[in-house]
Chain A
């Protein structure tokens, strides 16, 4: 009881909790078409591509006489890197005619490798600067500030409005893009909007859970939600709820025991939700098979 009261009375803990819940809910919904379209790893390519963006932005800042760790500069660099990652997957698929998973691996590996090279260049420039970037690798929810909360609000509202207006088009474009295209629906526009939402969510989520684990926010909630329903919007709604619930649980756990890292706790809570969902689906299938 005391501990609960302290979470909600501490303004910073409230900001972290609200930011995480909003990002978790939005990421679950945004991840649903990606997972159902078997393009789940796009989020991974985008997440890893933030590293060269972060390191490049830091180097550019130092070269221009800055400190190399201005949050706005780093976030801008991360967003550029993420956008380059999404564009690279698209270009590799289109030009080399490879499958989505191979294109993702090509883009992810190459851009993350570039990021590691830039990171070591940054260290030689000034050994102290790398510390500022480590927070983005593994996440640092404690570093979330009021601006991050407003960004999370904007992402959640944009996601909700997109689904409210385009639910039918999103479902058609995800289920049968050929039909949607022949019927004259804006399949390419939706694809572009999805790449944008994914990039923005990855960059925002990366600060909290780190660029290695941000994929979990996008992929685990829909994968778990699919075990509970056979309706598309049902998966979207349940994925959103699982994302929000696991984020709240993770943020609360690390507020109660401050040495536990928030991002990793959120990802563990998501993994637990997935395990429960998968076991329940397997049980239901085996009961159905015997009935």
Chain B
């Protein structure tokens, strides 16, 4: 194992990670390293622990054993370097908030600006992030009046506005239309080309194989990372 060589360069380094809750062990002593400048698909069957892996990386679920390091440091020390996108089921889409306000949350997180009214910089960065996913025209719409795909684009825009080094996204392609899916994929590729590490929980294996760089297959006791093009094609899988 080239663990030492890998962990120096790794943007995300997971070692011996064990996560258990509700009396069930979801991940058992798993390791993985994600390099810089990579678009990574997190794939695996339902309940395998894909979401749990991301949640453990950002401190949303307690870690029973092992460690997670981002850029060589514990997550709590490098929060600004990480953007996390929760699953859409966790959001109340009737909430009184506009697309631009959601994107501005990402810019505020980056600038650590939490008090007072949003400045011009925050608004301009939020508009730029919305434009990057083709949502500039709908910036002033309440999120409840957007389609599912447009809502996901707004949340991707919020992550873009954080300008992080590591992006952890839990199913950003869930229930999106074709146009939104293309817009989100293009935005994620642009992040990768800018040097970021983008880890995405995704169910669409053909899309991961054709468009992503790496795939992490989440199993019971191990995370297997490899080139995305080596994923088995669904038709030819044994």
Binding site for B on A (CB under 8 A): 36, 38, 165-166, 168-169, 171-172, 174-176, 178-179, 181-185, 226, 229-232, 234-235
Contacts and interface: CB of A to CB of B under 8 A. Distances in A.
A232 B97 contact: yes
B109 interface: yes
B90 interface: yes
Contacts of A175: 91-92, 95, 97, 102
Contacts of B144: 230
B79 A231 contact: no
Interface of B: 58-60, 76, 79, 82, 84, 86, 90-92, 95-98, 101-102, 105, 108-109, 114-115, 118, 142, 144, 158
A179 B105 CA distance: 9
Contacts of B76: 184
Given A165-B115, A182-B59, A36 B82 contact: no
A78 B144 CA distance: 40
Contacts of B158: 179
A183 B91 contact: no
Contact of A178 (B86, B95, B96, B102): B86
Contacts of B79: 182-184
A182 B96 contact: no
A63 B60 CA distance: 49
A165 B101 CA distance: 18
Nearest to B110: A183
Given A178-B90, A182-B60, 7 more contacts: A166-B115, A171-B97, A176-B105, A178-B84, A182-B59, A230-B98, A231-B98
A165 B60 CA distance: 26
Contacts of A176: 86, 90-91, 105
A170 to B, nearest CB: 10
A165 B76 CA distance: 24
A185 B114 contact: yes
A168 B82 contact: no
A232 B143 CA distance: 12
Nearest to A175: B95
A231 B96 contact: yes
18 contacts: A36-B92, A36-B95, A166-B114, A168-B114, A171-B101, A174-B95, A175-B95, A175-B102, A176-B90, A178-B84, A179-B86, A183-B79, A183-B105, A183-B109, A184-B76, A229-B96, A231-B97, A231-B101
